[in-house]
Amino acid sequence: MTADQALIDVEHLTMRFGGLVAIDDVSFKAQPRQITAIIGPNGAGKTTVFNCITGFYKPTIGRLTLRGDREYLLERMLGHEIGQQARVARTFQNIRLFPGMTVLENLMVAQHNKLMRASGMSVFGLLGLNRYRVAEAAAVEKARGWLERIDLVVDADRPAGELPYGAQRRLEIARAMCTEPCLLCLDEPAAGLNPRESAELNELLVSIRDRDGIGVLLIEHDMSVVMRISDHVVVLDYGRKIAEGVPDDVRRDPAVIHAYLGTGEEGADA
Amino acid sequence: MTPRLFSLLKDAALTAFVAAALGLFIVGFRTVDVGSTKGLAFDYELVDLAVAVVAIFVGRLGLSFASDGQRWPALVLGAVLGAVGAAPVRLPSTFLHWFVGLAGLLVIGRSLWPSAERAFGQARQSPQGRKLGVVGARWLAWVLLAAAVILPITPLADQKTMDLGVLILTYVMLGWGLNIVVGLAGLLDLGYVAFYAVGAYSYALLSTQWGLGFWAVLPLAGAFAATFGLVLGFPVLRLRGDYLAIVTLGFGEIIRLVLINWVDLTNGPAGIGGIPGPTLFGAVFAENAPPGQKTFAEMMGVPFDGTQRLIFLYYIILGLALITNLFALRLRRLPVGRAWEALREDEIACRALGINPTNTKLTAFAIGAMLAGFAGSFFAAKQRFVSPESFVFIESAIILAIVVLGGMGSQIGVVLAAVLLIGLPEWFRELGTYRMLAFGLAMVLIMIFRPRGLIAHRAPSLRLHEKPSGGGG
């Protein structure tokens, strides 16, 4: 695959907070219809990379090119524009649902921009015009489709905050998918899941890649997830990229083993 | 004597001691002026103090028994207190009768509370109870509305009631407007009365200077207030929580100070008088019509009556409030309303979903301001006089209290809270000095028993499944 087809092209990304260099000249690419995992020990700068891509931080140096319906330079866009125009969706390490709103409402909020246009900035909606009602029904159907995929149809009218932890994780992914993204960034989606839930998550991510054809960028500590489903792995340590490649190559890389275990011994994926 | 009883007695004695120590200086004696030459002297009211301390001792003991689960001793103590309070024995003041009697009621209430709560909970779980809850929730709003509509044609509609009705409805409308800003969008606005002032002065100036009528100015006043909301909101809505509250508080004061000091335009502290009232198809509500106009009484061919004007004002504000309500309910079900609620819950998640937080907050702020502008121009037309004194901070605080007390985001809660907050102090007027005391007591009781507001339940803006029958809440 040539560089021009990469979904997101991260070049020389550097992020400094005062004197602290959180990310130091990191470059990598993520391809469309692939799962790219970013791994690394705690404090390696994985979430900072995510925050730069999704506009929560402005990178000190670097270029972030997203090739969706056209080319976007993400480092120049405001936080909400990245979701609205460049269509990058993300989830958070500590789940950020709207806990007081119902599961269905969470998924409707994700379709806000589309519905806002359909409701003519609320004017058509206030008048109760048919155009808006059709759009709303379509949005509910889309939400129902996702609820079926994450197995939460029964709980659709419950407040999202009442759901069990694993369901909240799945809901957050579904909510991100309801924005119709071209790149989905998941920050530790398997954290706190039991092995069975973790396996279900694998299936969901694979189906997002294969069925929806979405490129996924994944931060994960759970190696059973990373090694089984990733197409490409990027390893960070102390803000630098120390290895990159297919999972099998990465797990044999001496630099990676050193970063995780501090010695040259075998067993990086333990 | 069991050790348990001993510790209860000790606790009650300690409470009584604290009460005595505090009360000694507040109730026990006071200085009185006994003439210019003799200066001040003490006036002792130690009997009052002693009665109060004994009542506190017995009351505390009763409460301890009650929370200990010993219902009968508590009931007996409560009954004794109640009997003393109600008995014709001569306590030094009527207030003491009230004090002792209410203490008895409190103890009795506390001792019956657990079983009452259990019975109430069971009733709520039973099929009939559930059905009643669903029916009640559905019909409460309609019953209140019907009552509000027919109130002026009932015999209750005297001058005082109608005045109070207009006042309460004005606050209901303001509460519904602020509910969009605070309840839905979660923006703490402590200067809401500023937009009310903008609306009021818009009508006052446009009517007295340019001769525009109420119905022509009403939309203009809303537009002016919304513009003020946008102008203020644009720079400050990036602030959060407490910071936003401080800025809006400051804005409210700035508007008031401008009104006081810009004498050329607003006539300063003296205010603007002679504002014409609203007209009905060109007919004015007055005993004698100004030249070229007809009075309502002439038009309808009925004798003039002072309450006609009040009833007309009542229906105007009722209509305005209902429009506000419909508007707010509708917006809540639209994407913009859901985005407001989502912003209240988690702004960062909203940004990640591509929602523009500033614009979304700005719409909430401007719409809230517009509704306050409508209410303001109604206020000016009702009072026929505006001055900066009507737009002080305490007004903002009362409106906010109505929203918070009603249960953030609940429409019917706002109505109940407005009746309580505006109506109660008026009805309590007969209590005289103890009016604000009774009011404060009511507030404390609400905060104890309904800490999340009168109506804390949030109904989803849309459902995937039909509401299960009989499963209300």
pLDDT score at B472? 38
- Whether chain A has a CB inside 8 Å of the CB on B350: the answer is yes
Total domains in chain B come to 2
Using a CB-CB cut-off of 8 Å, the residues of chain A touching B348 are 56, 92, 96
pLDDT score at B98? 78
Average pLDDT over residues B280-302: 71
Nearest beta carbon to residue B460 from set A99, A105, A119: A105
Contacts 24+ apart (CB under 8 A), A192-199: A192/A165, A192/A166, A193/A165, A193/A166, A193/A169, A193/A222, A194/A166, A195/A224, A197/A166, A197/A169, A198/A222, A198/A224, A198/A225
- Whether chain B has a CB inside 8 Å of the CB on A82: the answer is yes
pLDDT score at B469? 45
Q: Which among B144, B11, B142, B133 is positioned nearest to B471, based on CA atoms? A: B133
Mark whether B79 and B174 lie in a shared domain: no
Mark whether B98 and B182 lie in a shared domain: no
**What is the per-residue DSSP string for B175-220?**
HHHHIIIIIIS----S-THHHHHHHHHHHHHHHHHH---HHHHHHH
A263 found inside a domain:
no
B72 found inside a domain:
yes
pLDDT score at B435? 65
- Whether chain B has a CB inside 8 Å of the CB on A30: the answer is no
Inform me whether the pLDDT recorded for A119 exceeds 80.
Answer: no
* Low-confidence winner among A11-20, A41-50, B386-395, B453-462 (lowest mean pLDDT): B453-462
Quickly state the pLDDT bin for B377 (edges 50, 70, 90). Answer: very high
Q: Nearest-CA distance from A123 to chain B in Å?
A: 10
Give the domain range for residue B43. Answer: 3-105
Q: Which among B251, B418, B448 is positioned nearest to B318, based on CA atoms? A: B418
Mark whether A95 and A165 lie in a shared domain: yes
Mark whether A76 and A92 lie in a shared domain: no
Inform me whether the pLDDT recorded for A22 exceeds 50.
Answer: yes
Inform me whether the pLDDT recorded for B422 exceeds 70.
Answer: yes
Using a CB-CB cut-off of 8 Å, the residues of chain B touching A68 are none
- Select from A47, A106, A109 the residue whose CB has the most chain B CBs within 10 Å, as the one to mutate to test that interface: A109
- Whether chain B has a CB inside 8 Å of the CB on A74: the answer is no
Higher pLDDT, A73 or A120: A73
Give the domain range for residue A9. Answer: 1-49+58-81
Q: Do A119 and B460 touch (CB under 8 A)?
A: no
B116 found inside a domain:
no
Amino acid code (one letter) for A79: G
* Low-confidence winner among A65-74, B66-75, B288-297 (lowest mean pLDDT): B288-297
Q: How far, in Å, CA of B124 to CA of B103, rounded?
A: 30
Quickly state the pLDDT bin for B432 (edges 50, 70, 90). Answer: low
pLDDT score at B473? 36
Average pLDDT over residues A67-89: 82
Inform me whether the pLDDT recorded for B471 exceeds 60.
Answer: no
pLDDT score at B91? 67
Contact B182, B245 (CB under 8 A): no
Q: Do B353 and A157 touch (CB under 8 A)?
A: no
Q: Between A and B, how many CB-CB pairs are < 8 A? A: 124
Q: What ipTM describes this predicted complex?
A: 0.87
Mark whether A24 and A115 lie in a shared domain: no
Higher pLDDT, B135 or A144: A144
- Whether chain A has a CB inside 8 Å of the CB on B356: the answer is yes
* Low-confidence winner among A247-261, B29-43, B214-228 (lowest mean pLDDT): B29-43
Q: Do A156 and B463 touch (CB under 8 A)?
A: yes
Inform me whether the pLDDT recorded for A262 exceeds 60.
Answer: yes
B425 found inside a domain:
yes
Q: Closest chain B residue to A124 measured between Cα atoms? A: B334
Mark whether A195 and A102 lie in a shared domain: yes
Say how many Å lie between the first and final Cα of chain A, rounded: 32
R_g of chain B, CA atoms, integer Å: 27
- Select from A122, A155, A183 the residue whose CB has the most chain B CBs within 10 Å, as the one to mutate to test that interface: A122
Q: How far, in Å, CA of A84 to CA of B356, rounded?
A: 9
Collapsing DSSP states into helix, strand and coil, what is residue A259? helix
